Amino acid sequence: MNKQSGMTLLEVLLAMSIFTAVALTLMSSMQGQRTAIERMRNETLALWIADNQLQSQDSFDEENTSSSGKELINGEEWNWRSDIHSSKDGTLLEHTINGDITQRSDNLAYALSKHQ
């Protein structure tokens, strides 16, 4: 009797199903990492904008003042709003920059505060 070498159809199907399961898991993981990297990028840009506004508006001249504007970074429009008001105990002035990105659906918002 001649012994045949090779894999049976069942073994091939089992190997392909294992490969498919592993490939789908890896693809899902990579998509999650890509989403996280994009979110971190946007959060970094948002904090840069807020920090730039805090630096450019470094003086706390008047209490209860507000200003707002927009910055264009990488083709995306970011809104910001600056508010200066007394802290809760009334001893300090708090300068807060709030903002969001207008062209995205994930509602990324940011805030950065400074006291003087």
The boundaries of the domain holding residue 102 are 9-115
Tell me if 58 is assigned to some domain: yes
Confidence of residue 89 (pLDDT cuts 50, 70, 90): confident
Per-residue pLDDT reduced to its tens digit, 95-115:
788 887 766 666 677 777 777
What pLDDT digit, counting tens, does each position of 30-75 carry?
999 998 998 888 888 888 888 888 888 766 566 677 888 888 887 8
Altogether, the residues listed in the chain come to a count of: 116
Residue 25: predicted pLDDT: 95
Whether 45 maps to a domain, the answer reads yes
pTM of the entire predicted model = 0.63
Q: How many other C-beta atoms lie within 10 A of the C-beta of residue 14?
A: 12
* Token pair belonging to 103: 């062209």
Domain CATH for 46: 3.30.1300.30
* Domain membership flag for residue 94: yes
4 in any annotated domain? no
Facing residues of 83 across strands? 66, 96
pLDDT of residue 77: 84
Is 1 domain-assigned? no
Residues 8-22 pLDDT 10s: 999 999 999 999 999
Please give the tally of structural domains in the chain.
1
